[in-house]
């Protein structure tokens, strides 16, 4: 298990390092203004649909269903064709009516800004069908316990965007956004390509293409599996989409605030997402196929033992990241972004947003771990109800906090929604089972480590603050 976690973590770390290089180049070239807001809006829409349709919900329903079905080739071919058809239809609609979709996620933009952003939205959206195909192939690879390709493939997207920034450095800001938009699509093509190579090398190409070959003749044999998959997918889609809907509402509400607010949210969230992806997402990706197989074989004891080990591993890392992220938020933002068009005022605003996001790191990360138990047990309906409560909490708090705290209030509302989601997920998992995990001696070591780590960071903070000033 830990080998798979470290593979995922290293791949994600490599990709995120390139992502931060991409981000500080973007911050240096575009800063935090209308053009940076336009690109983040254009890139946010396909990412919203990607995380709802492709990554979270699809993978968490597909892997248990793929493990359970006796006709894996035909089942997987059927699922792929149905979902790809839907996603291509959505992509076509976005390209036919780009202004409508742009206005839907940035209502606060003026008519002129929406008109400027629409072509970029249309281009960026072609990333979605590419990344869905990649995610489908990734699910098959994960079932075979191959994680490296998916973990490292995001680096190709970042490399594509870095190259786009390099080639467009002497262009106008509108042209730079065009280069970045085409860079997104090219990055998607590269990601899909390496997954096709991995499928071939893992010996899964015969299964994949055999399913397409025999789909028409054997489609009736997978009716039950396909129906169960659809019934589980839609609750899972909603359960996984609430974080993305929250991010969508962040952008929607921030578009009514001062120019640059959307960019502050983006830059702060990029930093917040690093430990979340590096530790929580990497752990859950590695753990999920294992837990799904144990539960399928009615071996709940081994499933819980793996969950316990992952919990303490993740709790230690996320606690350290939370303390470090809050104490050193200004230093981190200054180091990564403050250059070129990104001013000290932008650093200050991004820092406040980042601190609010970091409050939710531990509950968000642990919730991702325990919700796997619900999905592996096919309790998608329960997970969807929890997600609805979390989203409702976010909406109420966002509307309450946006006036007194501005863009920072939106980040704090997101964190509080994560806390609520974690509490209800633990109730669904079983409070007594969770307390059994907490009663281990690891909790004492965690507390001592947190105290020592906080002391070290406070000393480092005092030292680096003098340097920045």
pLDDT tens digits, one per residue of 118-147:
888 889 889 989 988 888 888 888 878 787
Q: String of b and e for 9-31 (b: at least 16 CB within 10 Å)?
A: bebbeebbebbbbbbbbbbbbbb
Residue closest to 414 by CA, chosen among 346, 363, 349, 372? 363
Percentage, residues of the chain above pLDDT 70: 87
Cα distance between residue 248 and residue 245, in whole Å: 5
Q: What is the pLDDT of residue 189?
A: 94
Task: Name the token pair of 266.
Answer: 């983006």
H helix intervals, 255-299: 261-275, 282-296
Range picked from 8-12, 112-116, 442-446 for highest mean pLDDT: 112-116
pLDDT at 453: 55
Instruction: Give the pLDDT of residue 48.
Output: 66
Mean pLDDT score of the chain, rounded to an integer?
Answer: 81
pLDDT of residue 30: 73
Q: Is the pLDDT of residue 186 over 90?
A: yes
CA atoms within 13 A on the CB side of 167: 14
- Token readout for 302 is 């081994």
Q: ∠355-323-400 over CA atoms, to 5°?
A: 30
Alpha-carbon torsion (270, 281, 366, 320), positive or negative: negative
Q: What is the mean pLDDT of residues 375-393?
A: 86
445 alpha carbon, distance to own chain's centre: 30
Question: Using CA atoms, how far apart are residues 226 and 79, in angstroms rounded to an integer?
Answer: 8
Outline where 328-379 has alpha helix (H).
329-337, 344-358, 361-376
Position 463 scores a pLDDT of 47
Highest mean pLDDT among 294-303, 393-402, 438-447: 393-402
Q: What is the pLDDT of residues 47-104, one digit of tens each?
A: 766 666 545 667 777 877 777 777 888 888 888 888 889 889 988 998 888 888 887 7
| pLDDT, tens digit (0-9, with 9 covering 90-100), for 278-314 | 888 888 878 887 887 787 777 888 888 888 888 888 8
Each residue's pLDDT tens digit, 230-255: 777 777 777 766 777 777 787 778 87
Q: Give φ, ψ of 109 to 5 degrees.
A: -70, 150
Overall average pLDDT of the 378-398 stretch: 88
Report the distance separating Cα 175 and Cα 295, nearest Å. Answer: 52
Give tens-digit pLDDT for 32-63.
Answer: 677 777 887 788 767 766 666 545 667 777 87
End-to-end CA distance of the chain: 45
Helix (H, G, I), strand (E, B) or coil at 417: helix
């Amino acid at each position: 298990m830990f080998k798979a976690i470290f593979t995922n973590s290293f791949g994600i770390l490599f990709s995120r390092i390139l992502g931060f290089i991409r981000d500080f180049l973007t911050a240096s070239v575009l800063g935090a203004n209308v053009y940076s807001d336009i690109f983040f809006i254009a890139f946010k829409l396909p990412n919203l649909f990607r995380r709802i349709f492709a990554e979270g919900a699809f993978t968490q329903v597909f892997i248990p269903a793929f493990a359970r079905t006796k006709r894996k080739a035909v089942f997987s071919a059927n699922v792929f064709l149905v979902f790809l058809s839907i996603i291509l239809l959505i992509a076509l609609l976005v390209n036919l009516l780009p202004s409508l979709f742009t206005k839907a996620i940035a209502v606060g933009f003026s008519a002129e800004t929406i008109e400027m952003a629409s072509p970029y939205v249309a281009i960026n959206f072609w990333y979605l069908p590419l990344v869905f195909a990649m995610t489908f192939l990734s699910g098959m690879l994960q079932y075979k316990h191959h994680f490296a390709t998916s973990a490292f493939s995001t680096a190709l997207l970042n490399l594509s965007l870095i190259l786009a920034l390099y080639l467009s450095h002497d262009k106008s800001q509108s042209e730079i956004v065009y280069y970045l938009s085409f860079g997104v699509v090219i990055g998607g093509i590269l990601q899909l390509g390496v997954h096709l190579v991995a499928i071939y090398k893992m010996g899964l190409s015969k299964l994949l293409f055999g399913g397409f070959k025999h789909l028409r003749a054997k489609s009736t044999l997978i009716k039950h599996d396909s129906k169960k998959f659809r019934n589980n997918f839609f609750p899972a889609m909603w359960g996984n989409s609430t974080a993305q809907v929250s991010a969508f509402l962040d952008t929607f509400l921030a578009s009514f605030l001062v120019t640059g607010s959307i960019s502050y949210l983006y830059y702060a969230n990029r930093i917040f997402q690093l430990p979340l992806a590096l530790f929580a997402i990497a752990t859950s990706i590695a753990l999920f196929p294992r837990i799904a197989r144990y539960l399928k074989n009615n071996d709940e004891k081994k499933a819980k033992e793996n969950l316990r080990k992952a919990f303490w591993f993740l709790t230690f890392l996320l606690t350290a990241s939370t303390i470090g992220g809050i104490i050193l938020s200004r230093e981190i933002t200054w180091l990564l972004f403050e250059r070129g068009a990104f001013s000290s005022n932008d650093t200050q605003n991004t820092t406040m947003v980042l601190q609010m996001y970091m409050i939710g790191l531990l509950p968000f990360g642990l919730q991702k771990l325990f919700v796997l138990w619900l999905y592996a047990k096919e309790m998608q309906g329960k997970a969807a109800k929890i997600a609805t409560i979390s989203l409702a909490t976010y909406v109420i708090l966002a509307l309450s906090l946006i006036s007194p705290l501005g863009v920072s209030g939106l980040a704090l509302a997101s964190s509080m929604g994560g806390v609520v989601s974690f509490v209800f997920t633990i109730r669904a998992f079983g409070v007594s089972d969770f307390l059994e995990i907490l009663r281990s001696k690891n909790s004492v070591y965690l507390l001592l480590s947190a105290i020592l780590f906080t002391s070290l960071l406070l000393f480092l903070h005092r030292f680096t603050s003098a340097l920045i000033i």
